[in-house]
Chain A
Amino acid sequence: MRKSKIRISIMFIALALGLLTAMVGALLFGSTKTGLKDLLDLLTTGGDPSVATIIFNVRLPRVLMAAITGMGLALVGAVYQGFFRNPMADPFMLGMSSGAAFGASIAIVLGLESAVFFGMGFVSVFAFVGAALTSVAVYMVANSGYRRQKVTILLAGIAISFFLSAFVSLFMVFSQDGMQKIVFWTMGGLGGASMDQVIVLFPAVFLGGVALMFFARDLNVLALGDDTARSLGVEVEKMNLPVLAFSSLIIAVCVSFTGVIGFVGLIIPHMIRLISGPDHRTLLPLSALGGAVFMVLADLLARTVAAPAEIPVGAVTALVGSPYFIWLLLRSGKGGALK
């Protein structure tokens, strides 16, 4: 018991330091060469103005966006895996990626790309609305069904997701010009990151995350099954709305700014769980930290390895993360240090 507490403290400290290091590193490296000296020059004497622009207006919003998005995706992934008691659960289970793509496609097809709403691009606004409405629709369908079980939520999510994807396909076929923009939107990326976006993203993820933390204990009991949890005094049905609502808020904001970034929300919680154990009170914050570190590094790779060309960050997350995760699985399977 004590040993695991120490291990978890070490994990917290390591991940927090890791996040700090990753963020500083991501500020220092990019497609152009800037050193620690440039950063010190900037902080003391002012230095080269274009270096200042690169570090503070180009890299900083990007690094912050990556960190916050990674936090949100991994946290919600961890919550959903516990909530649905399904290791395959990921943040886009309720069809929100299709909902966001649907909203973004409408904005693109209507030619609203350069329109701006309170500092936000219209495509992002539409994507947010699309994602949010999708989660509401899924919840309503699942809640009015005959069998009010979680599997109904999942199935409703899958059905609505396919339904909306079909619309996106139709949009692409009937709008030649919009087609490639929609494709590139769905690939995701952080190239357009700005402080305006950070100002919207941060409170949503922070508040949603704090709210979800209150359900950590209930999620632990849910691991025993809904029926057992119910007999132990957890109001299982009453959890549905707040858990899904806060999770959806986080995901809708993340996906509307960055597009669909896969892998982080699915694998990071598993990685953390392999080391920390299944207690959601530690799993949730550790996943958030882990997701942040991972996304910051993934975006750093995405914009530097093929510089000046950029690789889709979603490709980097899967390319780098999958082998590591498989290695972790193999190690834990041998009854190694992770048991």
Chain B
Amino acid sequence: MRKFIALVLVVLVSIGVMIGCNTTAPKGNSGTPTGAPTESEKVTYPLSLKDAFGKVVDLKTEPARIVSLSPTTTEIVFALGAGAKLVGRTDYCDFPATAKTVPSVGEVVNPNVETIVSMKPDVIFASSMTKADIISKLRQLKFVVYMEDDLKGIEGAYQSINDLGQILNAKGTSDQVVTSMKNHLLYIKGKLRNLKTRPSVYYVVGFGQYGDWTPGKGTFIDEAINLAGGTNSGAAAVNWKFSLEQLIKNNPKIILCQVNPDLKSSFVKADKYKDLPAVKAGKVYSIDNNKLDRAGPRIIDGIDELSRLIQPSLRY
């Protein structure tokens, strides 16, 4: 049991689903505000809407103090130009870089309730990563909590951005962000319309002693690989669990390694893995998984990055 927990923790860290430290420089324009609200797009309060889990969120006035318990909502708050209102974030909220100057409330799963209370937030943004009893404690203390759902992928990103646009009275900006994301996606889809080949791609979340982990069919990353012009070599994975034997048998053309934490350097040197044809051909690349794992403003950038790695000839 204990061994299994240790194993699971290691895998969780390596999966880094939705969390981790960003090691690459920000790309694209989505980390910066794209406009100010115009009079016609003003939101009226009191405001009532449903969050990603169907919970009703009621706001009497426009929130002036925000605590974000999810790296995704932190990114959205900054993308909506409301970064100055952010008074608290988690240790994992690392993008944009200015977010790191905001005081932390601890880590994502078990943030410090007392610190959150002391920040007197008008609204708290969170995800299902945070323990349920922490969320219910905050609701019991009469805080307004909005929960986003990272597992919903692109549609989830649009919903969270639109909802936060309403909550923060930044409807104009959120519309612009979503529109530019949709255009970006259309552009990528256009580029990839008439593909001759769709190379098989294996996406490494974890490997080696603690098992091979990859997003199987039904996950957002599986969808993203297909969108980006590839086929998922690990589609048969059940609950992200795969095996080295299947990996060798499927013989993927391209292998993508998460950078949070960095897997590529150890993957290409690992016993058995180093003999994979894709590794020998130098077709192992790093991918900034934070963009794909967080259903926020950079999710299309993540797909863009994927497509550049999977279909390089189309772009340059």
Q: A interface vs B, CB < 8 Å?
A: 30-32, 50, 53-54, 57-59, 98, 113-114, 116, 121, 123, 165, 168-169, 172-177, 179-181, 183-184, 186, 189, 191-194, 303, 307-310
Q: Which B residue sits closest to A195, measured CB to CB?
A: B140
When chains A and B are docked, how far (Å) is the Cα of A123 from the Cα of B136? Answer: 12
When chains A and B are docked, how far (Å) is the Cα of A59 from the Cα of B106? Answer: 17
Q: Which A residue sits closest to B113, measured CB to CB?
A: A58
Listed by A's residue number, 26 A-B pairs whose Cβ atoms lie within 8 Å are: A32-B114, A32-B115, A32-B117, A50-B120, A58-B117, A113-B132, A114-B53, A114-B55, A123-B132, A169-B4, A173-B239, A183-B8, A184-B110, A189-B110, A191-B112, A191-B113, A191-B134, A192-B136, A192-B137, A193-B137, A307-B112, A308-B103, A308-B105, A309-B91, A309-B107, A310-B111
Q: What residues on B are CB-neighbors of A98 within 8 Å?
A: 1
Q: Which B residue sits closest to A193, measured CB to CB?
A: B137
Known pairs A50-B118, A58-B141, A176-B239 / 18 extra A-B pairs, C-beta < 8 Å: A31-B106, A57-B117, A59-B114, A98-B1, A114-B135, A168-B1, A174-B239, A179-B8, A191-B112, A191-B131, A191-B134, A192-B133, A192-B136, A193-B137, A303-B112, A303-B114, A308-B115, A309-B91
When chains A and B are docked, how far (Å) is the Cα of A310 from the Cα of B115? Answer: 11
Q: What residues on A are CB-neighbors of B120 within 8 Å?
A: 50
When chains A and B are docked, how far (Å) is the Cα of A98 from the Cα of B5? Answer: 13
Asked whether A183 and B9 contact (CB < 8 A) given A57-B141, A169-B4, A192-B137, the answer is: yes
Shortest B67–chain A CB gap in Å is 11
Size class of the contact patch on chain B: 35 or more
Interface string of B136-166 (1 = CB under 8 A from A): 1100110000000001000000000000000
Asked whether A191 and B110 contact (CB < 8 A) given A53-B117, A113-B132, the answer is: yes
Q: B interface vs A, CB < 8 Å?
A: 1, 4-5, 8-9, 12, 53, 55, 91, 103-107, 109-115, 117-118, 120, 128, 131-137, 140-141, 151, 238-241
Q: Is the CB of A32 within 8 A of B118?
A: yes
Q: Which B residue sits closest to A57, measured CB to CB?
A: B141
Q: Is the CB of A54 within 8 A of B114?
A: yes
Shortest B93–chain A CB gap in Å is 13
Asked whether A53 and B241 contact (CB < 8 A) given A168-B1, A192-B134, A303-B112, the answer is: no
Q: What residues on A are CB-neighbors of B114 within 8 Å?
A: 30-32, 54, 58-59, 303
Q: Is the CB of A186 within 8 A of B12?
A: no
Q: Is the CB of B106 within 8 A of A308?
A: yes
Asked whether A176 and B240 contact (CB < 8 A) given A53-B141, A184-B131, A309-B107, the answer is: yes
Shortest A147–chain B CB gap in Å is 27
When chains A and B are docked, how far (Å) is the Cα of A61 from the Cα of B132? Answer: 17
Q: Which A residue sits closest to B8, measured CB to CB?
A: A183
Q: Which B residue sits closest to A311, measured CB to CB?
A: B110
Q: What residues on A are CB-neighbors of B118 within 8 Å?
A: 31-32, 50, 54
Q: Is the CB of B239 within 8 A of A175?
A: yes
- A-B CB proximity, top 9 nearest: A192-B133, A113-B132, A32-B118, A308-B112, A308-B115, A308-B106, A309-B106, A176-B239, A165-B1
Q: Is the CB of B240 within 8 A of A31?
A: no
Shortest B128–chain A CB gap in Å is 8
When chains A and B are docked, how far (Å) is the Cα of A175 from the Cα of B118? Answer: 35
Q: Which B residue sits closest to A115, measured CB to CB?
A: B132
Shortest B262–chain A CB gap in Å is 21
Pick the residue among B111, B115, B128, B136 that contacts A121 (CB under 8 A).
B136
When chains A and B are docked, how far (Å) is the Cα of A50 from the Cα of B105? Answer: 16
Shortest B146–chain A CB gap in Å is 14
Q: What residues on A are CB-neighbors of B238 within 8 Å?
A: 174
Q: Is the CB of B137 within 8 A of A191?
A: yes
Shortest A192–chain B CB gap in Å is 3
Shortest B211–chain A CB gap in Å is 10
Q: Is the CB of B12 within 8 A of A183?
A: yes
Q: What residues on B are CB-neighbors of A50 within 8 Å?
A: 117-118, 120
Q: What residues on B are CB-neighbors of A30 within 8 Å?
A: 114
When chains A and B are docked, how far (Å) is the Cα of A174 from the Cα of B115? Answer: 35
Shortest B216–chain A CB gap in Å is 9
When chains A and B are docked, how far (Å) is the Cα of A309 from the Cα of B109? Answer: 10
When chains A and B are docked, how far (Å) is the Cα of A58 from the Cα of B134? Answer: 11
Q: What residues on A are CB-neighbors of B53 within 8 Å?
A: 114
Shortest A89–chain B CB gap in Å is 19
Shortest A4–chain B CB gap in Å is 40
Q: Which A residue sits closest to B147, measured CB to CB?
A: A114
Q: What residues on B are CB-neighbors of A121 within 8 Å?
A: 132-133, 136
Q: Is the CB of B5 within 8 A of A186?
A: yes
Asked whether A181 and B131 contact (CB < 8 A) given A53-B141, A54-B117, A169-B4, the answer is: yes
Q: What residues on A are CB-neighbors of B131 within 8 Å?
A: 181, 184, 191-192
Q: What residues on B are CB-neighbors of A31 within 8 Å?
A: 106, 112, 114-115, 118
Q: Is the CB of A169 within 8 A of B109?
A: no
Q: What residues on B are CB-neighbors of A173 within 8 Å?
A: 239, 241
Q: Is the CB of A180 within 8 A of B8?
A: yes
Q: What residues on A are CB-neighbors of B140 within 8 Å?
A: 194
Shortest A34–chain B CB gap in Å is 9
Asked whether A177 and B4 contact (CB < 8 A) given A57-B141, A303-B114, the answer is: no
Shortest A118–chain B CB gap in Å is 14
Chain A CB count within 10 A is highest, among B53, B117, B128, B137, for B117
Q: What residues on A are CB-neighbors of B4 within 8 Å?
A: 169, 172
Q: What residues on B are CB-neighbors of A309 within 8 Å?
A: 91, 104, 106-107, 112
Q: What residues on A are CB-neighbors of B55 within 8 Å?
A: 114
Asked whether A177 and B151 contact (CB < 8 A) given A54-B117, A192-B134, A194-B137, the answer is: yes
When chains A and B are docked, how far (Å) is the Cα of A117 from the Cα of B137? Answer: 15
